[in-house]
Homo-oligomer: A and B are copies of this chain.
Amino acid sequence: MKEFEFIAIARDLFKSRKKEVVYGAGDDDCAVIKLNDRYLVLSSDMLHEQSDFPKIMTPFEIGWMSVAVNFSDLAGSGVKPEYFIFDICLREGIEDSFEEILKGVKALCDRYDAEVVGGDVDFGDELFIVGFALGFSDRVVVQSGAKAGDRVYITGLTGKSQLALEYYLKGYDREEIPFVSSLVMPEPKVKEGLMLTHTANSMTDISDSLAVSLHNIASRSNVCIEIEAMDLSELLEFVDYDKALELFLYGGGDFELVFTSDSEPEVGIEIGRVREGKGVHILDDIKRTVEFRGYSHF
């Protein structure tokens, strides 16, 4: 079974019952609960050494990353992270790095004036960090809001993190890896997400790949997305066009946002349009279908 099959089981079992639950298990990037006058928005992600922390990451970067994945989910909903809770399982040999990991957590929380309010410390054979982030908003942007006529935007070029990962896996030293900070200390697009709370019709962060995020928007909004233009020059400095396109569409680990809007957004690079229909296509030399695939772990 694959991850999405497990998620499908969970979604079936945990169908929302309470009327306050606007988006529940498996519905969108975050859980959304209606309070009196606003929404409570919740996100959680589990990271562990084996899949999520390349050995070149410092303890500070590990802590930072554990916050970044959660803040990125909230950013993709146009919501500011306010509070963070994290549970950590330490293993032998890493205990001395505890404070550095925490400093990484704190640095990214401080950057967006979010506060760590709790957590749990445990001990085992592998480093695990599980984060919970929450925020409040008067509007939540979800994947299902795209409309025919919208333009499609990204906050930055995707594929950099995947390229960095491939250099890492080939054994390059940290200082030789292009875009290494995309891999080890990504910046969640919190500011950009907040600028878009009221101008984006649909939005999500890009974690598995741009292709997966676009497919999610297209299928949940019941529309077709066409990619028309993209400037891959930053990637083309290192790889040929076909590889650059592969990285751009299917590379994982970027912390960019993708969104659609029918007005002029304050931020974002236009890459395409939303039409009536289904699926995700790319209009380069030949019109191709964008596959539903990506990379979520190294």
Chain A residues with CB under 8 Å of chain B are 1, 3, 6-7, 9-10, 13-14, 16-18, 21, 23-26, 30-31, 33, 35-37, 40, 42-46, 48, 50-51, 83, 85-90, 95, 98-99, 102-103, 106, 115-126, 128, 130, 132, 134
- What residue of chain B has the Cβ atom nearest to residue A86's Cβ? B44
Q: Is the CB of B14 within 8 A of A106?
A: yes
Q: Give, as a whole number of angstroms, the nearest-CB distance from A97 to chain B.
A: 12
The answer to whether A128 and B14 touch across the interface, beta carbons within 8 angstroms, is no
Contact (Cβ within 8 A) A18 B118 = no
CA distance A221 to B106 in the complex (A): 29
Q: How far is the CB of A62 from chain B (nearest CB, A)?
A: 15
Q: Which 5 A-B pairs have the closest CB atoms?
A: A31-B117, A46-B87, A31-B118, A14-B116, A130-B130
Given contacts A6-B98, A31-B117, A95-B1, contact A122 B21 (CB under 8 A): no
A46 near B122 with CB under 8 A, answer yes
Q: A13-B102, A115-B17, A132-B85 are in contact. Are A124 and B48 (CB under 8 A)?
A: yes
Q: Is the CB of B87 within 8 A of A45?
A: yes
Contact of B42 with A118 in the complex, beta carbons under 8 Å: yes
A120 in complex: contacting residue of B16, B45, B98, CB < 8 Å: B45
